[in-house]
């Protein structure tokens, strides 16, 4: 079991599975207790993909990405899990305080507190966990969340994936829906393609995208699926971009490269007054890939 440490440790992009420093948001961490950690992160005011939304707010999915990266950082650096192990998020929920998401003119410093529980071990290595996150900015609450994940050794991952361990590549990329319909400013960031059926889209997977694909991958990343859910909500409820300040997502299986994944939006009961909620599903070969519920402030 790792010993308790209090000093701060620097972070390299590899520890959060990023190839580019600009996409690695944690920059320091320390252990506060046996299973409680602090991570110092920054949010750029001009990130090329997690760009400002709704006239000047940090993208709420930047909250989710910061949570995800912070957890991976602690799994590797805090629990000493080797970098060639696989981090498989099974479910995640988050709630952001949009009053604390103002971008401003410079990077925002974010303090992330992580508490790990329901830990399981395999061969002396961490194999399963639950994590609770609290994000603060200058002492003010930005967001909370929780999630569960499995940690797989290379051999276990190979057995799980079978003959699907070859990296995917973009072939015959379908045309995107209009960027403004998807709530994006650049067509290159659109992950949906049109479909004749109402409120249904085809997942568009560009493996050359510099943020969504930073290293070869044998399946569609979970963050791309969450982005597809947000874009589908924007397309269904527009014309204003959908700003999901709260949400939850459960991943039921991997999304594969070799068959079409269909994204569908249905209405959901709002979380609280003044919110609009939707349920978004992804299906591939008639099997459920993910189920997400997103909530945003009601337009107008």
Q: Tell me the per-residue pLDDT of 78-133, one tens digit each, with 9 for 90 and over.
A: 999 999 999 999 999 999 999 999 998 888 999 999 999 999 999 999 999 999 99
- Whether 1 has a pLDDT exceeding 60, the answer reads no
- Whether 191 has a pLDDT exceeding 60, the answer reads yes
User: What is the model's pTM?
Assistant: 0.94
State the greatest distance between any 2 C-alpha atoms of the chain, in Å, as a whole number: 57
Average pLDDT, the chain: 93
- Same domain assignment for residues 17 and 149: yes
Q: Tell me the per-residue pLDDT of 229-269, one tens digit each, with 9 for 90 and over.
A: 999 999 999 888 899 999 999 999 999 998 999 999 999 98
112, 128, 160: which is the final residue of a domain?
A: 160
Count of domains observed in the chain: 2
- Same domain assignment for residues 26 and 135: yes
- Same domain assignment for residues 108 and 74: yes
Task: Examine residue 1 and state whether it is found in any structural domain, yes or no.
Answer: no
Domain that includes residue 187, residue range:
164-297
Output the CA angle 244-246-247, nearest 5 degrees: 95
CB 38 within 8 A of CB 62: no
Per-residue pLDDT at 6:
56
- Same domain assignment for residues 213 and 268: yes
Bridge partners (DSSP) listed for residue 200:
264
Non-local (6+) Cβ contacts of 156 within 8 A are 122
Q: Tell me the per-residue pLDDT of 123-165, one tens digit each, with 9 for 90 and over.
A: 999 999 999 999 999 999 999 999 999 999 999 999 999 887 7
d(CA 61, CA 35) in angstroms, rounded, equals 25
160, 182, 211: which is the final residue of a domain?
A: 160
Question: Coil, helix or strand for 74?
Answer: helix
- Whether 54 has a pLDDT exceeding 90, the answer reads no
Per-residue pLDDT at 271:
79
160, 184, 216: which is the final residue of a domain?
A: 160
Domain containing residue 45: CATH number? 3.10.129.10
Question: Coil, helix or strand for 59?
Answer: coil
- Same domain assignment for residues 169 and 289: yes
Task: Examine residue 286 and state whether it is found in any structural domain, yes or no.
Answer: yes
d(CA 203, CA 194) in angstroms, rounded, equals 9
């Amino acid at each position: 079991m790792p010993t308790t440490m209090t000093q701060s440790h620097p972070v390299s992009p590899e520890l959060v599975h990023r190839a580019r420093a600009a996409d690695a948001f944690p920059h320091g961490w320390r252990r506060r207790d046996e299973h409680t950690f602090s991570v110092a992160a920054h949010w750029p005011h001009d990130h090329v993909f997690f760009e400002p939304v709704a006239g000047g707010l940090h993208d709420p999915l930047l909250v989710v990405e910061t949570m995800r990266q912070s957890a991976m950082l602690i799994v590797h650096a805090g629990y000493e899990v080797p970098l060639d192990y696989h981090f498989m998020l099974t479910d995640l929920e988050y709630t952001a305080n949009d009053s604390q998401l103002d971008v401003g003119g410079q990077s925002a410093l974010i303090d992330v507190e992580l508490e790990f529980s329901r830990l399981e071990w395999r061969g002396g290595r961490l194999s399963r966990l639950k994590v609770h996150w609290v994000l603060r900015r200058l002492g003010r609450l930005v967001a909370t969340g929780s999630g569960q994940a499995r940690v797989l050794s290379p051999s276990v991952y190979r057995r799980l994936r079978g003959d699907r361990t070859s990296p995917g590549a973009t072939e015959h990329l379908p045309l995107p829906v209009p960027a403004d319909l998807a709530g994006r400013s650049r067509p290159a960031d659109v992950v949906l393609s049109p479909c004749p059926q109402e409120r249904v889209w085809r997942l568009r997977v560009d493996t050359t995208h510099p943020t969504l694909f930073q290293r070869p991958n044998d399946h569609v990343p979970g963050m791309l699926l969450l982005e597809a859910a947000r874009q589908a909500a924007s397309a269904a409820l527009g014309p204003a971009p959908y700003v999901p300040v709260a949400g939850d997502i459960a991943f039921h299986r991997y999304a594969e490269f070799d068959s079409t994944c269909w994204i569908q939006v249905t209405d959901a009961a709002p979380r609280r007054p003044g919110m609009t909620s939707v349920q978004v599903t992804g299906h591939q070969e008639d099997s459920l890939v993910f189920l997400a519920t997103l909530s945003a402030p009601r337009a107008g």
